[in-house]
């Protein structure tokens, strides 16, 4: 969700900066980038190490409330994301939303998107990304073999989760560099991706839309 479908990373970074500064600490743009794709509990621990004297649950709630407000004000779709979701739905392709964000943020977005047959949020699993559990859970909920799935991700931890689960992976280079992994399809924008492209990836082709 975050980064891949909607441009919420600036909202997360702004909330992180505000929180750390409120406790007298310093937080840079590079610090924010280092948290992209992390489980929220991991991010909370890093913020605590920067002087935020709140519990992990309090930090997650603080960040989620501010990001949710930003998304509610105007859903910041990434280029091509909504059109691709709609095209997949019209083609009869079942879709699942798999995110490290918690359900209180994931479900409102899923309702706006209106295409997801299943949602797996960060607080739905015991082991968050980069563990394969989130994507294995999503495949189970869709009633399909994960090896038949095309997984679209943008963060190193998300890509790691997708690869570990055994799906075909399309990596979107958004905020962080894509890891150099064999068999990884890549693009710089979902605006350059079609349903036919995803079908090719699902059939085993490896696409490079970056170079």
Summarised one tens digit per residue, pLDDT across range 35-93 is: 987 888 999 999 999 999 999 999 999 999 999 888 877 889 999 999 999 999 999 99
Give the pLDDT of residue 120. 98
Name the band, by pLDDT with cuts 50, 70 and 90, for residue 14. Answer: very high
Structure tokens at 34: 């280092």
Angular region, 143: left φ>0, alpha ψ -120 to 50, beta rest? left
Residues of the chain with CATH 3.40.50.1000: 81-209
CATH fold of 81-209 reads Rossmann fold (3.40.50)
What architecture does CATH give domain 8-73? Orthogonal Bundle (1.10)
Proportion of the chain above pLDDT 90, given as a percent: 78
Find out whether 121 and 101 touch, Cβ atoms under 8 Å.
yes
pTM of the prediction? 0.82
């Amino acid at each position: 969700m975050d980064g891949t479908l909607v441009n919420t990373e600036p909202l997360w970074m702004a909330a992180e900066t505000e929180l750390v500064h409120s406790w007298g600490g310093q937080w840079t743009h590079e610090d924010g980038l280092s948290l992209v794709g992390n489980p929220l509990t991991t991010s909370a621990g890093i913020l605590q190490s920067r002087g935020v004297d709140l519990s992990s649950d309090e930090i997650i709630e603080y960040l989620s409330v501010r990001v949710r407000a930003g998304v509610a004000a105007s859903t910041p779709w990434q280029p091509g994301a909504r059109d691709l979701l709609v095209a997949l739905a019209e083609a009869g392709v079942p879709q699942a939303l798999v995110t490290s964000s918690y359900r209180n943020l994931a479900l409102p977005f899923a309702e706006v998107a209106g295409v997801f047959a299943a949602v797996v949020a960060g607080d739905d699993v015991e082991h968050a990304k980069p563990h394969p559990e989130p994507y294995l859970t999503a495949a189970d909920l869709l009633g399909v073999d994960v090896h038949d799935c095309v997984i679209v991700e943008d963060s190193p931890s998300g890509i790691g989760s997708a690869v570990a689960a055994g799906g075909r992976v399309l990596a979107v280079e958004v905020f962080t560099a894509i890891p150099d992994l064999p068999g990884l399809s890549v693009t710089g924008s979902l605006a350059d991706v079609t349903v036919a492209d995803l079908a090719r990836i699902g059939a085993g082709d490896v696409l490079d839309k970056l170079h």
